[in-house]
Structure 1
Amino acid sequence: MGLPPVELRPLRRADLPLVCRWLAEPLVARWWHHDSSPEAVERDFGPSIDGDDVTALYLGMHDGEPFGLVQVYPIEAYPEYVAELAPVCPVPPGSLSIDYLVGEPEARGRGLGAGMIAAAVARGFADHPDASDVLVPVAVGNTASWRALLRAGATWYAEGELEPDNPVDPPDHVVHRFVR
């Protein structure tokens, strides 16, 4: 069975209240553990919207309605991230990574997350023609997330300890990989 169609639309400043709401949604808050205040969302997402950060931000859209957020970025733009990942797995030069969330509870369990992931990987490869890999670490306990990655076409690449997004989680992570 194929993935549902998902379009990516660049995130706009007018979308930030929606992002605040999504980050405060209990399941998203559980795994993202991100301050959902307008000030924090502006601080963390505003520079990318303005083009001052290499991270590309998109809303996942299905039937014209936003349901999720995905960010695509070159791993090497964040040296601390390369240093954290390198002991767990090889990080090929030019590798990308993505972070994503399905913010609308009624959008979950319908394949939209996997569709958004697949669209983000395709967009990342299109925007970064020299990138051959997209590496995505996920906490082992976040089963829905890594299953969505597998459904989108990723392979299980490596396992190891990484700093969890939420300090209540153990450091156990699985790194998934998409290859061009």
Structure 2
Amino acid sequence: MAWTFRRVGTGDFELLARWLSHPHVARWWNHEWSAEAVERDFGPSARGEEPNEDWLALLAGRPVGLVQRCLWTDYPEYLAEMAPVYPVPPGAVSIDYLIGEPGDVGRGLGTAMIAAFVARTWADLSESSCIVVPVARANRASWRALERAGFVPVAQGELEPDNPIDDGQHLVLRLDRSGGWTPRSTGG
């Protein structure tokens, strides 16, 4: 599969709104999809006013998903919330992701997209040594896609849920630039 990625622009907001409205996305992202809400929440990144990055994932030129990327240190409040659950190492990156259309779900595209974006992250952010991702424990499809892309569970704990119907239990997964993470290789 030939994955490419490009930064989300304002011309992509209608597509994002459609994706956010689909039940398989809305369940876990719990995001408003009105034009105003998409502009409010994705506009600052699209204009370079926010430190996070929103990327469209294209497969053979067709938009299939969205990947968000940020350095943990760019969001101190998020880092502080995470600290009791898992001590995020300096320079760590986090990602969030979705597959947009219902017909693309359950075909292995999420795992392939994540793996391709990890390679992109290592190329773009040479100073980053690992990617640490908290996922709602109930979102089995999401954390299994991470595992299939090489991520390893490193912690579990309670974090503010994206969707208030969830209990806040999260699984934290990690992938090191070196290709794998084990407690023996990093000391924890």
TM-score with structure 2 length normalisation? 0.91
Mean CA deviation greater in 124-133 or 142-151:
124-133
Any idea what SS the aligned residue of 2:138 has? coil
Mean CA deviation greater in 163-172 or 121-130:
121-130
Determine which of 147, 162, 165 is the counterpart of 2:162: 165
- Alignment length, in residue pairs? 177
Q: Does 1:77 align with 2:74?
A: yes
Q: Does 1:126 align with 2:97?
A: no
Amino acid at match of 2:108: G
Q: Does 1:98 align with 2:95?
A: yes
Unaligned runs of 5+ in 1: none
Identity %: 55
Tell whether the 8 Å contact from 1:8 to 1:116 is kept in structure 2 after alignment. no
2:89 and 2:123 mapped to 1: Cα distance? 17
Cα deviations by residue, 1:17-71 (Å, 9 ceiling, x for unpaired): 0000111101100000011111111111111111111111111111221111001
Partner of residue 177, structure 1: 174
- How big is the shift at 1:120? 2.0
1:18-167 mapped onto 2 (5 Å cutoff): 18-167=15-164
Cα deviations by residue, 1:68-92 (Å, 9 ceiling, x for unpaired): 1001110110011100111001110
- How big is the shift at 1:129? 1.4
Amino acid at match of 1:156: P
More relative contact order in 1 or in 2 (CA 8 Å, sep 6+)?
A: 1
Any idea what SS the aligned residue of 1:17 has? helix
- How big is the shift at 1:130? 1.2
Tell whether the 8 Å contact from 1:20 to 1:36 is kept in structure 2 after alignment. yes
Q: Does 1:12 align with 2:26?
A: no
Tell whether the 8 Å contact from 1:5 to 1:115 is kept in structure 2 after alignment. no
Unaligned runs of 5+ in 2: 178-188
Any idea what SS the aligned residue of 1:94 has? coil
Q: Which runs of 4+ in 1 moved over 4 A?
A: none
